[in-house]
Amino acid sequence: MAGTKAGGKKAAAKNLAKDPNFYAKIGAKGGRNSRTGGFAANPDLARIAGAKGGRISRRRKTKTVAAD
Protein backbone atom coordinates (compact mmCIF):
# COMPACT_ATOMS: atom_id res chain seq x y z
CA MET A 1 0.00 0.00 0.00
CA ALA A 2 3.02 2.25 -0.09
CA GLY A 3 2.52 5.33 -2.23
CA THR A 4 -1.27 5.25 -2.12
CA LYS A 5 -3.72 7.54 -0.40
CA ALA A 6 -4.77 4.79 1.99
CA GLY A 7 -1.13 4.04 2.80
CA GLY A 8 -0.47 7.68 3.55
CA LYS A 9 -3.40 7.85 5.95
CA LYS A 10 -2.20 4.67 7.66
CA ALA A 11 1.32 6.08 8.05
CA ALA A 12 -0.03 9.39 9.40
CA ALA A 13 -2.17 7.55 11.94
CA LYS A 14 0.85 5.50 13.08
CA ASN A 15 3.00 8.64 13.42
CA LEU A 16 0.32 10.35 15.50
CA ALA A 17 -0.13 7.24 17.66
CA LYS A 18 3.58 7.27 18.51
CA ASP A 19 3.74 11.02 19.14
CA PRO A 20 0.70 13.35 19.06
CA ASN A 21 3.02 16.31 18.32
CA PHE A 22 4.84 14.54 15.46
CA TYR A 23 3.85 16.93 12.69
CA ALA A 24 4.19 20.03 14.90
CA LYS A 25 7.78 19.02 15.67
CA ILE A 26 8.59 18.49 12.00
CA GLY A 27 7.11 21.89 11.13
CA ALA A 28 9.08 23.61 13.87
CA LYS A 29 12.31 22.05 12.62
CA GLY A 30 11.60 23.29 9.11
CA GLY A 31 10.82 26.78 10.36
CA ARG A 32 14.05 26.95 12.34
CA ASN A 33 16.10 25.78 9.37
CA SER A 34 14.61 28.25 6.89
CA ARG A 35 17.04 30.75 5.42
CA THR A 36 14.76 32.78 3.21
CA GLY A 37 13.60 35.54 5.56
CA GLY A 38 11.68 37.83 3.27
CA PHE A 39 8.38 39.51 4.01
CA ALA A 40 7.23 36.91 6.55
CA ALA A 41 10.24 37.74 8.70
CA ASN A 42 9.96 41.52 8.24
CA PRO A 43 6.41 42.92 7.94
CA ASP A 44 7.69 46.51 7.86
CA LEU A 45 9.67 45.71 4.73
CA ALA A 46 6.52 44.30 3.13
CA ARG A 47 4.61 47.49 3.92
CA ILE A 48 7.32 49.68 2.39
CA ALA A 49 7.56 47.54 -0.75
CA GLY A 50 3.78 47.52 -1.17
CA ALA A 51 3.66 51.29 -0.88
CA LYS A 52 6.35 51.66 -3.56
CA GLY A 53 4.46 49.35 -5.90
CA GLY A 54 1.21 51.20 -5.28
CA ARG A 55 2.79 54.54 -6.11
CA ILE A 56 4.32 53.22 -9.32
CA SER A 57 1.10 51.55 -10.51
CA ARG A 58 -0.86 54.80 -10.08
CA ARG A 59 1.44 56.93 -12.20
CA ARG A 60 0.33 58.19 -15.57
CA LYS A 61 1.74 56.57 -18.65
CA THR A 62 4.74 58.45 -20.07
CA LYS A 63 4.19 60.22 -23.37
CA THR A 64 6.69 59.37 -26.08
CA VAL A 65 7.76 62.10 -28.45
CA ALA A 66 8.11 60.95 -32.05
CA ALA A 67 11.47 61.90 -33.57
CA ASP A 68 10.92 63.66 -36.92
| Domain residue ranges of the chain, discontinuous segments joined by + | 5-57
Give Cβ neighbours of residue 1 (< 8 Å, ≥ 6 apart).
7, 10
Mean per-residue pLDDT, 35-49:
81
Length of the chain equals 68
Looking at residue 68, what is its pLDDT? 59
Q: Cα–Cα distance between 29 and 34 in angstroms, integer? A: 9
Q: pTM of whole model > 0.75?
A: no
Give Cβ neighbours of residue 19 (< 8 Å, ≥ 6 apart).
25
Mean per-residue pLDDT, 24-47:
81
Give Cβ neighbours of residue 10 (< 8 Å, ≥ 6 apart).
1
Lowest mean pLDDT among 2-11, 20-29, 36-45: 36-45
